[in-house]
Chains A and B, each alone.
Chain A
């Protein structure tokens, strides 16, 4: 999206005023409407498709594989593909590494839920395909991952848990599946405009934002990574530390509502 100088300055002034006036009339903490569909890929263990009101769209597939967890210790792997971007593009790599960090077992996701036997675990592959995005897609992606993981069903183990003594490979029930029970983290993105913080900035708001904040949320509290991100390349400035606090408070206040609405899907 390209705005003229006059448009930018008008938009900036209205966003930076107190209270801030957003072009679509949203409150600072209000999200744009999203649509989520789940479970539409029969060859994946879980899948979701999320569409934002501006037409940004993201598809997530969850696939699983049985691995020896003594050999492979990373049991969750995120792969991001953004249409029109090369695999080694900067945006793609930063988002991939951020999401991998967010979902890293231990801090983000409880990897004991993926353990099958004393030797084997499920490894979860999260494949993200961003078909179109107009603003920074990381928050949309994390919502899609959240709903995909929450609609994931894995095969049910019928062999013994203790397989260290007996050399036996895990065997699964023919058709019974077990719902994956992990609490996936969420990522929120905020725009800093003047002294105001805005959740879920739209494309035009990102264009004039002074800075952006990426805040992760897991198990009812804010977790690392917390990062600042440049939402455009013309207007970026530093921001005062109290704004960070204000942003964290905002996420703390409204994240439970987001989690609840995603849960009720």
Chain B
């Protein structure tokens, strides 16, 4: 058991947040206009993630082509230096990373209108420069922003968030210290609805507490959606004003 006081009797967490507070959330889109069709950079706490969307483009191999819809590929590159302690192996082809990739593909296949881009592929490339817990949620947010930047049609935003359960208290947006000390759940929430496109539970969690956890998770995800929306609108406004000056 860790000796750290994860949640103090006064209701403060290790980094000074309350149970229902998010970490610092900063995002920007169109960060790599030359390298990709859509890109985003986001920082959620100490998570730093670059997402590049390349496509819709012609597939390199004819065999990869689907005549009825676009093919979605996600590759997650967790860098060796992303954690505090440098890892010896590159995380490519690691089981955990492959699982993350598959679940991201399955999530976004349902949210992106792939049927309007037949015979194409959409490659999503993610670089995790630094990770500090709740990585899956940040990946989801990064992809959503990058897809929007690429102008790919989607039904709605998907915002990701992780929630931990400390004894009976749900803790929103867990960092790595909290993540190591308790069970966490990662949610992918569709827009402002209460629909989940992802529910990732990697540890044991009592079923009768799940409702509380989901409730705060959905509220947090809605807040994340608003923050992303704000950033997108700000970015769009800047682009429009730049365009009208010319």
Contacts and interface: CB of A to CB of B under 8 A. Distances in A.
A35 B125 CA distance: 23
A65 B46 CA distance: 22
Given A41-B130, A83-B125, A131 B79 contact: no
Contact of A131 (B52, B80, B92, B130): B52
Interface string A105-147: 0000000000000000000010101011000000000000000
Nearest to B43: A40
B50 A55 contact: no
- Which of B35, B52, B81 counts the most A-chain CB atoms under 10 A from its CB? B81
Contacts of B52: 131-132
**B interface, how many residues as a size bin?**
20 to 34
Interface in B80-104: 80-84, 86, 90, 92
A131 B32 contact: yes
Q: Is the interface of B mostly helix, strand, loop or mixed?
A: loop
Contacts of B80: 79, 81, 125, 127
Contacts of B83: 43
B90 A87 contact: yes
Contacts of A127: 79-81, 86
B129 interface: yes
Contacts, number: 62
A132 B54 CA distance: 12
A55 B84 CA distance: 29
B103 to A, nearest CB: 22
Contacts of A81: 77, 79-80, 90
Given A57-B35, A132-B35, A41 B86 contact: no
B81 A44 contact: yes
Given A43-B81, A61-B81, A125 B86 contact: yes
Nearest to A87: B90
A81 B80 CA distance: 10
B127 A43 contact: no
Q: Name the 6 nearest CB pairs between A and B, nearest first.
A: A55-B34, A132-B35, A61-B81, A63-B86, A127-B81, A43-B84
Interface of A: 40-44, 54-57, 59, 61, 63, 65, 79, 81, 83-84, 87, 125, 127, 129, 131-132
